[in-house]
Structure 1
């Protein structure tokens, strides 16, 4: 992400307060409440579909969560892709089973690393979620502990709570009727870590997330890769409001999002002050269809020809402010448009950007006259089918009214460029209620061992195995550190094992090899071939690439397929002699000074079939004969 165009703000002066919610999938064999595997599937492998329409329900106290109510106003059908591994629990056709022991054990390890106080008895709760991401309309969640902390260079960040939850279904695509989800991810065990509002800078937010991520990976039992860890960020400034930004995918994104949200709130407060100075108000929604009856605007013409209409709202005192930028390439008008889009509209037009899009100056003047707007006022319009147009313009009008108050509390989504977009209101306590189908659990922290931290592991690799710190850190923080330790236990040279698992795999991945197909057994077999002198180290990259393309081969078969079967000492000497013969003039002129250049040529001629030390000895011997 990049927000180079974002102005700099004094975060301390503005009173920045931020907190994090880290969601991390656990790498367990089965799901949290059933025995289905936690393996990701290709949607093309689905063998059936089911559909749902979800509606909000009242809490035990008879209250409705406002976020769920707004979500329910969007009329959508949800389709779920099911597989041969999908069970009745995932389909919401059978009650959940007991909490998975493996997931609970990993979560308790995480609690230990975060210094969290674990509860004596943990109860499963239902969290109302009707965006379609769960077939049941709620997510099951367990509070495991509270009261932990982590350290950053800018001070302590408290851990408010540690939750063990079931992951949501994976969104596949949006259709005209609704959203398609895949059930392979639904129910995968997930920990949610919520920090206190102790973060005071974008840099500290990134550092805190980085620290928590390191602690999570130290367990060796969390999933890795895109989408397996998600960060939500809660941000507010002194006169602003708490805004939750969801779906931040990477560490740099956290820093950019915090910085960008501070700027957005600061700009909204400046707009608020200007609107109040102007005594701005939002007028009543009007039908403006007649104004555009002969329009040449493609968007409006298309809506009217399909039986739609144009709705308008006068924004008195808003002139010039609807088009004011609050984030790079995002304006107050974009905020109004986001709300309109929630109800099916393609967006809004407003007079700060008109005439444009086929709308003429005359139509703008007629629009202003029709709604009673003067030169200091703005007008927003929506062109759509009648129901959508009415709902969308009301939503835009409500958001405009909120601009006079300042910064609304809301949930927003992270964009790739570091900006954010409106999603829904902040959820309230009314969406939580007990899960009666799963009995409470009594977690025992004494049953789990505290894992070695990854930074401690890095130090040990340097001290015990002689790795340089950069390589040691790569291995310790990488996915294959258990394989590295197994290889070293079997007598493989630590530096060779580490560089193969990290540098060599990175190299062949960049060349297009599907390294995700390589298993631990592939690597261990290759190490064994090298140790027994049946494969030169120089041939390892080509053999790994061969195995990645055809993982059903054995390592020995891959050596044959790559044409890297070992050669005799005489064959090495013959190849070296040919290299020296081709470069006789250089050898005569430079003597042993020609060694470095000829060594590369000799290794290339042998294509990794011979060990570098053997080739080096033969080349030195042959050059010595000629000088």
Structure 2
């Protein structure tokens, strides 16, 4: 099984449904609920705070399942803080300030661009986060608008809601029971755009996310750079539950992630059906485990078990009734079903030294058939049963054994509702149980905020053109699709609009030069972004007046990046006017002197040879199409 096999699935018959939650930090001066600067820090922190998280009851007197799962990890959570950008509010020692008005106005502007129905009164809620990423244990969040849409491939892509919330800390490390967060981005204003689940192929899912991403970027009021924007991708197929792929940093990964997740869910449903055929149900599975004595452990040839015994750790075997052979089934490219059990143990029991479990046919190095016979007998395994070994400190091992059992129960039910971490190769790993409604409750520290009609009217007056309309306008000017899309949020968009408004402008050339050629030069190491709009405007104005051919533009841009003056660069290349007519034919003839290709034998190769000879002398001094015409005339073609 590889990625090619996954990509060839029939998405319609699978009933694939994908929706997005697109998050973007807003470009504001201050944080959302305090007056600290919204700035990153890259120096060593000023101080550190240690905390432990525990769940609280919801308004209905119930615990959220995710909160209970996180509590089982028993994490020591350390926060790295800075005296100049962090305050007592973020440590939950001070009530929140009124919401940042600048951030609210930006969110309202985005809501109007998304055709949302803006709420009359904004209410702040608390959303529990016990993974430690927010010191308070909850995130303050508010709904700004509901039931919007954006045009998408001849139809409307529904926008369920737009939220305004505070960002979490960024993770520094997570090893065992110790996790470290840096609190510089904590409290940054963040918008969350939630789409409906009406994207039905991986390619559609990728395109839908890019559309929302471009619209947000086009406002010029969201941050850019690593971590500023990220997507949660919700995936399901017929017969499965919703699975959330959390924090996808790049829309380019979405196509592969969705395809692999759909395949994973298909395989999990097949495993469920096989278990049903074997008479296994969630209710029939009982936790059956036994701790191995030291003599049994040392009697095996497994280096992992022997190392655990030498470290004073315990080893246990868990019986999975009816699971024989299923843990070896491939559910993601390069990953077996047993990986799902290993991930639960890694995340919840905090046993993160791999491998952390052993089963037949998996990472069972050193275990002989005789060893497995002894182990299986200890937990009363029958022919259709599987035994899984785990090891670690006694408290963690108890958690691990329980999680192995719970994952087996989930397997008998089908596809568990989970939040999963994306990997660069398109596979995913377990992160936590998918949160439910019990994690949300009102924030009694924050009063409602009225959103007046007058405020919305003022924002409407300054609304930019919607990104999709700008793209349509750029496409009508002849720009390639990728240029039309990237130019919408490009810092050179204003320059492009100014230059194309003038007489004699070539919009396609300008767009390609400002976007495609600039990106190519950046990849070559040239600081194109540091070029001023004035320098580029001067370059294109000289081109418009006939100072050189289009082939010279890239070379001149390279020279400007190196600090050269335009006049000096033109003089060094002998540029100043575009050569045409008889003068061009004379120079072309001189360039081709002595060239005697055999057109009859290899006409295309000869043509490329002659054009190469001519362009070597005339590139930038004449337009390429004129050089081609002169070469054809001289060659008698």
**TM-score (normalised: structure 1):** 0.81
2:396 maps to which residue? 388
Contact 1:56 1:128 in 2 (8 A): no
1:223 maps to which residue? 223
Alignment partner of 1:601 is 2:601:
no
Q: Output one character per residue of 1:387-424: Cα deviation in whole Å (capped at 9) or x when no partner.
A: 22221122111111222222222222223233322211
CA distance in 2, matches of 1:227, 1:245: 16
Q: Map 1:604-623 onto structure 2 (within 5 A).
A: none
2:604 maps to which residue? none
How much does 1:152 deviate? 4.0
1:418 maps to which residue? 426
1:370 maps to which residue? 378
Contact 1:148 1:158 in 2 (8 A): yes
CA distance in 2, matches of 1:321, 1:7: 24
CA distance in 2, matches of 1:110, 1:117: 12
Q: Output one character per residue of 1:207-235: Cα deviation in whole Å (capped at 9) or x when no partner.
A: 43343334333423333455333222223
How much does 1:55 deviate? 1.0
Q: Map 1:180-579 onto structure 2 (within 5 A).
A: 180-251=180-251, 253-280=253-280, 281-290=285-294, 291-342=296-347, 343-345=349-351, 346=353, 347-353=355-361, 356-443=364-451, 444-449=455-460, 450-461=463-474, 471-476=483-488, 478-486=490-498, 493=505, 495=507, 497-515=510-528, 523=536, 541=554, 556=565
CA distance in 1, matches of 2:259, 2:337: 18
CA distance in 2, matches of 1:59, 1:539: 68
CA distance in 2, matches of 1:4, 1:19: 23
CA distance in 1, matches of 2:88, 2:538: 40
Contact 1:167 1:186 in 2 (8 A): yes
2:72 maps to which residue? 73
How much does 1:517 deviate? 5.0
Computed over aligned residues only, the root mean square deviation of the Cα atoms, in angstroms, reads 4.4
CA distance in 2, matches of 1:229, 1:50: 27
How much does 1:39 deviate? 5.1
Contact 2:592 2:610 in 1 (8 A): no
Q: Please, which moves more after superposition, 250-259 or 518-527?
A: 518-527
Do the aligned partners of residues 595 and 324 (structure 1) sit closer, same or farther apart at CA in structure 2, a change above 3 Å counting?
closer
2:583 maps to which residue? none
How much does 1:494 deviate? 5.4
CA distance in 2, matches of 1:207, 1:532: 40
CA distance in 2, matches of 1:410, 1:354: 24
**Partner SS, residue 139 of structure 1:** strand
Q: Output one character per residue of 1:229-249: Cα deviation in whole Å (capped at 9) or x when no partner.
A: 322222334432222222234
CA distance in 1, matches of 2:547, 2:100: 45
Contact 1:543 1:559 in 2 (8 A): no
Contact 1:20 1:195 in 2 (8 A): yes
2:50 maps to which residue? 52
Q: Output one character per residue of 1:145-201: Cα deviation in whole Å (capped at 9) or x when no partner.
A: 112234444854432211011222222333466333333432332211223344444
How much does 1:60 deviate? 5.2
Contact 2:298 2:305 in 1 (8 A): no
Contact 2:18 2:200 in 1 (8 A): yes
1:19 maps to which residue? 19
Q: Output one character per residue of 1:336-387: Cα deviation in whole Å (capped at 9) or x when no partner.
A: 1111112122344444316831222221111111211123211001122222
CA distance in 2, matches of 1:403, 1:54: 31
**Partner SS, residue 372 of structure 1:** coil
**Structure 2: gaps spanning 5 or more residues:** 580-585, 597-607
Q: Please, which moves more after superposition, 113-122 or 204-213?
A: 204-213
CA distance in 2, matches of 1:55, 1:210: 36
How much does 1:527 deviate? 6.2
CA distance in 1, matches of 2:593, 2:273: 83
1:124 maps to which residue? 124
2:605 maps to which residue? none
Q: Output one character per residue of 1:517-553: Cα deviation in whole Å (capped at 9) or x when no partner.
A: 556576567668989999998776567557768xxx7
CA distance in 1, matches of 2:538, 2:85: 35
Contact 1:66 1:425 in 2 (8 A): yes
Do the aligned partners of residues 89 and 535 (structure 1) sit closer, same or farther apart at CA in structure 2, a change above 3 Å counting?
farther
Contact 1:230 1:247 in 2 (8 A): yes
**Partner SS, residue 51 of structure 1:** strand
Contact 1:535 1:559 in 2 (8 A): no
How much does 1:472 deviate? 4.3
1:590 maps to which residue? none
CA distance in 2, matches of 1:355, 1:187: 43
How much does 1:319 deviate? 0.8
CA distance in 1, matches of 2:269, 2:315: 31
CA distance in 1, matches of 2:484, 2:244: 37
**Structure 1: gaps spanning 5 or more residues:** 588-592
How much does 1:565 deviate? 6.9
**Partner SS, residue 102 of structure 2:** helix
Do the aligned partners of residues 396 and 535 (structure 1) sit closer, same or farther apart at CA in structure 2, a change above 3 Å counting?
same
CA distance in 1, matches of 2:502, 2:444: 50
**Partner SS, residue 320 of structure 2:** strand
